[in-house]
Structure 1
Amino acid sequence: MNRTDRLYGLVEELRAASPRPRSARRLAERFEVSVRTIERDLAALQQAGLPIWAEPGRTGGYVIDAAATLGPPGFTPDEALAVLIGLGTLRHSPFRHAAHTAGRKVLAVMPDADAGRASALASRVHFLESEDEPVLPAAFAEALGAGRVVRLRYLDGTGAESVRDVEPLGSISKEGQWYLVAWCRLRDGVRAFRADRMRSIEVTDERPPRRTVRSEDLAIQYGRLRSLGDD
């Protein structure tokens, strides 16, 4: 049995036993591997986000939420490399924390040999970055996905500071710069706010009305606006 099959088997074994625990020794006997291998596999599943925890004591062991499942496999080393490169470009972006954990999850559920090859290939890929590359606020990602009105303390292009209540509609990335596209209540229209000019981001409890944004609303004078959903 290869590692991918064993990871799936571990999840199903724990689900079948839930809420009763299974010891690492019993799982090792079931899958005919060492206890250390089982513990390493369980750690990989935990890193991948599976709700597995250990119960202490003589009758303890590992338990999983019975509703948990492991997503389908299918990454080849080259596909995993492409994913890791894409995630690596987000190191200074507002999505850097999610990108970091996503990269670990991709490797955690791959067979050891494939994960090792993907990691080795990724180590050969380098990014030439500016020494003063700004680290953009991680709260940007929360503001984008919260579905709430967001209060920004914001510096405009002249350095003037204002407080804006905005309704997030999307985001735009251009040459390493990230913008939050939102309906600005102060200006009563769609605006794009640069992430590096945001001094604070507060997600309120207010739900905004449903709005749509069109590319012509943004007055983009160059380039083509492409969605992640486009081929």
Structure 2
Amino acid sequence: MNRTSRLYALVEELRAAAPRALTVARLAMRFEVSSRTVQRDLQALMESGVPVRSAPGRGGGWSIDPAMTLPPIRFTADEASALAVALAAADASAPYAGAARTAAQKIVASMSGPASTAAQELAARIVTLPAPGGSGARAAVEQALATNAVLRLSYVDAAGHESERLVEPAGLLTADGRWYLIAWCRTRQAGRGFRLDRITAATPTGEQARPHDLATLLLGSAAAGAVQPPALEELTRPRATPAAPSGRAAGRSAPRRRR
């Protein structure tokens, strides 16, 4: 087993045992490698952001939080190629580009066989012209969307006029290869779209923003007909929650029949 496959298998071994911890000696025996190799692999997983942790002392070992990891995903060659194209489109000026890069590294590490070959061959045939400049305020916008915080923006409009705005972020819009922050602008007292590459500075105010409906803010604008990308529909679809156990399964005695 090569190292990439072993790293992937280590995560799944820890997931299967969770929340119980496994010792390095047991993992070394399981994968038929030395304890030093397992220790080095586990350290590499930790440094790459995989939520593995060690507990010292008697009864300790290594464990993983299964709620923070995904089960194995097997990509077809076409799916792997589609991912390569999608990641190529997420250039450095796009929102969450940094997270997309680290996600790509994890995906590549998990792929093998025809899927890996297809993605590598296609990736070698894709080039891009990086956008000039780029917004240094992108990280602040990402954080404000995640925490629903008010932002103070320095913004340059299409005519080259710069202004200061206090905005309450509602969401992101992508159109014609550009990204826009859609927000309630306190300065204009209306919904506005701000091109990310025209935001020269973004500073969190520490104030919590009011919730705003994205579709409502887009009403009356050129983007009023914007819809959710089909690829994201599955992410926003409500998940079924497991039914609560009943009767004895919930720790209660079944009621006795009256005679």
| TM superposition score normalised by structure 1 | 0.76
Q: Say yes or no: does 1:200 pair with 2:204.
A: no
1:72 Cα shift?
Answer: 1.7
The CA RMSD measured in Å over matched residues stands at: 3.5
Tell me how far apart the structure 2 counterparts of residues 217 and 33 of structure 1 sit (CA, whole Å): 61
Closer/same/farther in 2, CA of residues 63 and 5 from structure 1, 3 Å limit: closer
Q: Give structure 1 stretches of 5+ with no counterpart.
A: none
Closer/same/farther in 2, CA of residues 118 and 34 from structure 1, 3 Å limit: farther
User: If you compute each CA radius of gyration, which structure gives the higher value, 1 or 2?
Assistant: 2
1:135 is matched with which residue?
Answer: 134
1:50 Cα shift?
Answer: 2.5
Q: Secondary structure at the match of 2:179?
A: strand
Q: Give structure 2 stretches of 5+ with no counterpart.
A: 235-259
Equivalent residues of 1:178, 1:195 under 8 A apart: yes
Counting only pairs closer than 5 Å after superposition, residues 134-173 of structure 1 correspond to structure 2 as: 134-137=133-136, 138-139=138-139, 140-173=141-174
1:128 Cα shift?
Answer: 3.5
Tell me how far apart the structure 2 counterparts of residues 117 and 51 of structure 1 sit (CA, whole Å): 28
1:118-172 deviation per Cα after TM superposition (whole angstroms, max 9, x unaligned): 5523433413425x53323332322332201111011122222221110111111
Counting only pairs closer than 5 Å after superposition, residues 26-175 of structure 1 correspond to structure 2 as: 26-33=26-33, 38=38, 42=42, 45-46=45-46, 49-53=49-53, 63-65=62-64, 70-78=69-77, 79-92=79-92, 93-108=94-109, 110=110, 112-113=112-113, 116-117=116-117, 119-129=119-129, 133-137=132-136, 138-139=138-139, 140-175=141-176
Tell me how far apart the structure 2 counterparts of residues 40 and 122 of structure 1 sit (CA, whole Å): 32
Equivalent residues of 1:154, 1:198 under 8 A apart: yes
Q: Say yes or no: does 1:7 pair with 2:8.
A: no
Aligned length: 223
Q: Secondary structure at the match of 2:202?
A: strand
1:86 Cα shift?
Answer: 1.1
Q: Whose relative contact order is higher, 1 or 2, with alpha carbons under 8 Å and at least 6 apart?
A: 1
Letter in 2 for 1:7: V
Tell me how far apart the structure 2 counterparts of residues 206 and 10 of structure 1 sit (CA, whole Å): 41
Closer/same/farther in 2, CA of residues 35 and 91 from structure 1, 3 Å limit: farther
Q: Secondary structure at the match of 1:206?
A: strand
1:29 Cα shift?
Answer: 0.8
Tell me how far apart the structure 2 counterparts of residues 161 and 83 of structure 1 sit (CA, whole Å): 38
Q: Say yes or no: does 1:219 pair with 2:221.
A: yes
Q: Secondary structure at the match of 1:167?
A: strand
1:75-121 deviation per Cα after TM superposition (whole angstroms, max 9, x unaligned): 3143233223212211221321111011112223x254467425523
Among the aligned pairs, what percent are the same residue?
32
Pick from 20, 31, 35 the counterpart of residue 16 of structure 1: 20
Tell me how far apart the structure 1 counterparts of residues 107 and 41 of structure 2 sit (CA, whole Å): 14
1:164-217 deviation per Cα after TM superposition (whole angstroms, max 9, x unaligned): 110111111123321100010111100001111111111222122222233752
Equivalent residues of 2:80, 2:116 under 8 A apart: no
Closer/same/farther in 2, CA of residues 135 and 128 from structure 1, 3 Å limit: same
| TM superposition score normalised by structure 2 | 0.69
